[in-house]
Amino acid sequence: MKSLSKLLSSREHFSPVYYIQNFKGIHLDNAMYEKWFSLFFSDYLKHHSLKHYNDFKNSPDILLIKKDADQKQFITEDFSEVFRFQETTPLNANHKFCVIFEAEFITDQIYNKLLKIFEEPSNNLTFFLFSNSSKTLISTIESRVTKLRLTLEDISDLGFDAQVQNNFNEELENLDQEMTLLKFQDFYKNLNNENAFLKSFLAKISNHDDLEKLKKKVPDFLQWFQESKNFNNAKSERAFFIYQMLKAIQVNRKSLS
């Protein structure tokens, strides 16, 4: 599956406004969203055979809007440049892009001021609004934006995948060797990112030369795991099988010690 950035960058036409949310369970700061947009913009220029910039922020067709760190919310003055930017034509690319970070802090009053631009964007202007929140938008805005969520492929492209796996590696190491099935199922039920946990768990198996029998079972397990998710089976079912594999690892280690 392609990342969202690659899917969007290959399009000939864009929606007026994209409201892009983080991958579930992962908080991305402005620098990460900037990196994502940089990847998107670079692919967009390449796909359309346009002039490439070493730093996308040097492009005259990009406008970045960020909230002042000392402000709890955006203020109207933060968007004064947007109204000027929409009047200019693209200089290098076929499109212009206004990128707004921490969109969850845009007030309803400001959204209402932006509404006309969202409804009738001029000069091939497209907005990218990035948010870490699932906050509900006012109805007039909700109906005019295209809501998208970053994928695991996007997270991997950002180099965030390794960090996620490291976090889960720590959780795996901290699991009590005497943990009961019920306790493990409760732990598993509260996971925000089941796929990342699974990656970390399989990496744990692959890093041990003494688990050859278990490694042979991995392909069948992965097929079953995906089917279990496709059929919306309970998390507790998948937790049961992972728990059994964890116990097998523990038994194997004890026999070798």
Alpha carbons 5 and 132: distance in angstroms, whole number: 17
Query: Residue 191 has what pLDDT?
Result: 74
Torsion (CA) 221, 225, 230, 236 in degrees, nearest 10: 140
3-state secondary structure (DSSP) of residue 111: helix
CB proximity list for 162: less than 8 A, separation 6 or greater? none
pLDDT value, residue 96: 93
Q: What is the pLDDT of residue 219?
A: 83
**CA atoms 111, 154, 33, 131: torsion sign:** positive
For the chain, which ranges sit under pLDDT 70?
1, 24-26, 160-178, 207-210, 251-257
pLDDT of the residue at 20: 94
Q: Are 243 and 185 in contact (CB under 8 A)?
A: yes
pLDDT at 182: 83
Contact assessment for residue 147 and residue 21, using Cβ atoms and an 8 Å cutoff: yes
The Cα 101–Cα 56 span in angstroms is: 16
Residue 191 token pair: 């996971």
Which pLDDT score, from 0 to 100, does residue 61 have?
92
